[in-house]
Structure 1
Amino acid sequence: MSTKHALTRTLAVTAAAGLVAGIVATTPAAAEAGAPSSAVAIASNDKGSPGQGASVAISSLTAGPQISRSETISRAASWVGIGLNYNWNTTHQGYRTDCSGYVSMAWHLATPGLDTTSFVPSGVASWITKDQLKPGDALLNDAAGASGHVVLFEGWTDSSRTSYSGYEFTSSGVHHRTIPYPYFSGYGTFKPVRNNSIVDDAQPLAGDQPVAGNWDGGGSANVGVFRPSTGEFHLRNDDGSLTKVNWGAYGDLPVSANWDGTGPDNIGVFRPSTGEFHLRYDDGTLTKLYWGANGDLPVAGNWDGGPAANIGVFRPSTGEFHLRNDDGSLTKLYWGQQGDIPVSGNWDGTGPDNIGVFRPSTGEFHLRYDDGSLVKVNWGTNGDLPVSANFDGANGGPAANLGIWRPSTADFHLRMDDGSLIQINWGQPR
């Protein structure tokens, strides 16, 4: 069996797939349709708000339905790139086509949406601190009309937390772009705010997601991240250099393994909305495989001992792994429970690859060996995301190693065969 079994790294989330971030470029004349002349100077700057329509009456408003952070980001992304013009006298999907109507849509509030003066007084949202910001929160200037504006927060662009990736509706359309914290200068005071009905995903989708694999064919496996906002894999080589590969889209979940049985390990994504794996081969070609369903979490490994790695899914609702063999047949294994995150690797260094789960609530890995026995390893804490690969392969160890990626610091904490720690900073913190 090949020792290159750098395997799946997964995140427990579901969201609509195929929403690729972009920028709508419309003419100022079109963007200002319905806007009073006093708003034109502000609108032409392509920042802030050229004005807002009437808010839902607070007296008749009820809080929005419970909504996850991933669904909020997915809803925001659905208005990017479809040619909407800023006009507070019109609606799309029942929501006003202005800045506050757009965020109201992303938060799934009552149509046609609140305005910037109403989010907090209505009880729909509450002020939070910068340190509390998470994907799906917002930066709000709660002044009225063209003096107010609101931007949906997706995530920090780097560890300095001086800029963030955000969604906003301005005079030239719907943007997904990098914004200085809290907002571009000269547009008033912006403060963090949170929808009171938003809930965390089992694992956050927005922001980097960890992967691991032998990208450069060296003796040991390497780390990397998948960046949903750009559809890019940022892979770290043995010498610390970066390789970027565009593959996948917002809502996809990353996987990695040696799909074609030769050369370095390969990347891929699982698209929950369609149940498809999109696997990238050494020559850059695409192979699509249908396996799993929305709600499943992807895994990859050499289940049957053939030359190439296989795909699979973990079904949290039943605690089942559904593994696909080379001939397309299914192997089912019960392992894990709701809330666990799947991992895979050749834990015992012989035979086929094995499955396992990381249990965030306890910081434990529950690994299944070839004989069906359980080995528990404490590594990581709640909020960490698991990775697995042969990180110390250059030392001759045939078995796969465990690791975690810590979103708050963008640090990988990798466990070697002797239990020692190697820490690598890679990716962007959340």
Structure 2
Amino acid sequence: MTVPVFEEYAPAADCPCPGCARQRREHALRPAVRAGGHPAAHGARRALVLATAAGAVLGGGATTAGGAVHPAGHPLLPALPAGPAGHAADGDTPQGGTAGLHGRPLAGPTTGPVSVRQLPESTRADIINRAKRWVTAKVPYSMEKYWTDGYRQDCSGYVSMAWNLPANEWTGSLHRFGQKIAWADLQPGDMLLFHNPDNPTKGSHVTLFGGWTDHKRTHYTAYEQTKPHTRRQTTPLAYWTNSERYVAYRYLGLVAESGVTPASVTPAGGAPASIAYPGAGHFGPGARNHHVTRLGRMLVARGAARFYTDGPGPRWGEADRRATRAFQLAQGWRGAEANGLPGPHTWRLLATGRGRDIPPGGGRATAPPYPGRAHFRPGRSGRHIETLGRQLVKRGHGKHYTHGPGARWSEADRRNVQDFQRAQGWRGGAADGYPGPETWRRLFR
């Protein structure tokens, strides 16, 4: 008869059966080979498992529907979702500790907060491209060996390499180099981290997020270092096991792609698309990230150009604080509400194009209040129409006037407004020639 191939069984942490409980006790008391334990002890365990598996083949053991063999005496249970080799049923994922490249000792601190200024900048493309190199090379998994680039060949060494960290980190320290984010905000280059503090060598793992593979966002492309070698594979969110315990992080040194504006995309209607507030930790002294650049660009679009002698850039500076405060003061806020640090309300107004612009020269805004759509229709007349026309001429959009502008609405008014709207990049119904609140705001900016 053909003898099936069996993998070593890792007892579930919460299984009450005598077989699993005994194996957990033996595994906890047995030192690892790298810590002085004898390889024969581990071989004996494998022999025990193979013997148990052989008994199952002969009818003496219990197997799950997925084919996994439990120790003798284990109750019949529904099969757990099968994970990749080395990670099924919470299999061991050994972790190396914090170490320098090529395993050299570290001279600096290995705990505590990380200064963003000390981290190398990386774009998302940089991170994914570095991750792909190991996938192409099929770097063998090892918690003790180091690849030619100096990074340890385990899962945490792999992420350290992809994020271009100055040293090899482990699952207990990688969080220091990232900003915690929600799963819904995951983007390529972010990491999903599970660290088991009770026993770091049991189940701890980290993967790189490479993008969603389905519209329901239940699976993603994972770049990971696992046995037997680096791979790129579609994976359930967040992982095959311990899924609810994985935490998403974004690299603190992340910057925007060269030549790409990371600000909100303007749809056909003209109003910027809403952007989720990234959190207060991204702004203030010492901050350096693409959110600072995005903030500065949004502020410049709202009248803050005079605060920047160069930039905006990823490093937080006094110009960012003064520009943010000017925008907050323009909304009529005072005290702690105008402290120069963007909170959720400040960010939301900037990202959606709402609120008042920063007045020129620090004075009061001169734009008249929007009178309403009903004032700009055929047959209507009033000072608002003449005010609109004069501002159109001032902004260089008055070519359709043969005389005037005047106080009565005309086709020339509509065509000039339409030209101005098209100059904003609007099309279709957003450029119909009738001024709405956003047209009015931009015209009098």
TM-score normalized with structure 1 length = 0.37
Structure whose CA Rg is larger: 2
- Name the structure, 1 or 2, with higher relative contact order (CA <8 Å, separation 6+): 1
TM-score for the superposition, normalised by structure 2: 0.36
Q: Higher strand share goes to which structure?
A: 1
Query: Which structure is higher in helix share?
Result: 2
